[in-house]
Amino acid sequence: MPEQKSSSVPWYPVSRRRFLAAGAGAVVAGGVVSGCAHGPKMPGTTPKEQAQYQDHPNGLSRCGLCKHYIPNNGCEVVAGPVSPDGWCRFYALF
């Protein structure tokens, strides 16, 4: 049972340095588990015709805003170069 100080919050004998080091480790581990765990995006193989790709935006939707877009002219769904101003039916906002 941890020692109690005058307040109702339990007091644990952990130094500030150890507490901060543990927090930094948790942040790094969280980054590895979340976004950083994904590898680089690989180019897709879906033909442009099948994706109904067009080289102009669909309203405000365009490749440059799509989560599948690989800068500067790639896509992890559609094969071949795509324009940042293009669009296809697999568009997904990131």
Q: State which of residues 33, 63, 80, 81 lies at the interface with ligand SF4 (CB under 6 A).
A: 63
CB 58 within 8 A of CB 89: no
Least gap, CB of 40 to ligand SF4 (angstroms): 15
Q: Read off the tokens for 42.
A: 């690989």
Verify binding: residue 73, ligand SF4, rule CB under 6 A. Answer: no
Sign, CA torsion 49/53/56/57: positive
Verify binding: residue 28, ligand SF4, rule CB under 6 A. Answer: no
Spatial separation of the C-alpha atoms in residues 92 and 62, rounded to whole Å: 9
Interface segment toward ligand SF4; rule CB under 6 A; list 2-10, 12-20, 24-32, 82-90: 82-90
